[in-house]
């Protein structure tokens, strides 16, 4: 059930395209331009797609970002309470587990998710170039202390 919810999540679906697009039988030369063509030349209309293009305009290969998603604790508390109450919350649990997965894998899809979260919610991102301890806060946020991560 959780896997099914994750697979229907538009952010995850779009992020999953990131590693596939460059491999598309040599036909694609730029993920950014491919996503941009989807925005402007097809029936696909998506704010998330716009945000993905914005992120790729800022850092075309997402080399600057770690594929790491912070969590504030609300998702954990919600899932813990749901377990105590025997209430299914598959989408929230899936989102929480995706955050955990982001901390273990530097896959292009996780970098895209981190970039899109920064774009739509101003969530903090880890700047790879600045070192593993550097967290770049989103607008209006304080950087997380490394011990809290």
pLDDT, tens digit, 9 for 90 and up, residues 103-130: 765 677 778 878 888 887 788 877 777 6
Range of the domain at 47: 2-148
Question: Between residues 61 and 146, which one has the greater pLDDT?
Answer: 61
Report how many domains make up the chain.
1
Q: Which pTM does this prediction carry?
A: 0.49
Closest CA to 58 of 98, 115, 137, 121: 115
60, pLDDT greater than 50: yes
Residue 50 sits in a domain whose CATH number is 1.10.1040
pLDDT at position 3, please? 41
Mean pLDDT of 31-60: 81
Question: Between residues 107 and 35, which one has the greater pLDDT?
Answer: 35
pLDDT at position 15, please? 62
How much is the mean pLDDT over the chain?
72
Res. 83 pLDDT band, cuts 50 70 90 = very high
Cβ neighbours for 118, distance < 8 A, ≥ 6 positions apart? 55, 65, 124, 125, 138
pLDDT at position 35, please? 80
Res. 68 pLDDT band, cuts 50 70 90 = confident
């Amino acid at each position: 059930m959780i896997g099914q919810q994750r697979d229907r999540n538009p952010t995850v679906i779009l992020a999953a395209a990131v590693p596939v697009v460059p491999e598309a039988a040599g036909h694609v030369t730029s993920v950014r331009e491919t996503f941009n063509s989807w925005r402007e030349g097809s029936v696909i209309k998506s704010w998330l797609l716009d945000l993905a293009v914005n992120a790729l305009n800022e850092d075309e290969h997402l080399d600057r970002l770690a594929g790491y998603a912070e969590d504030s604790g609300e998702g954990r508390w919600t899932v813990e309470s749901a377990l105590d109450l025997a209430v299914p919350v598959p989408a929230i649990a899936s989102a929480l587990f995706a955050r955990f997965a982001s901390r273990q894998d530097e896959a292009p899809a996780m970098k895209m998710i981190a970039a899109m979260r920064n774009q739509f919610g101003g969530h903090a991102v880890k700047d790879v170039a600045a070192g593993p301890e550097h967290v770049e806060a989103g607008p209006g946020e304080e950087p997380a202390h490394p011990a809290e991560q």
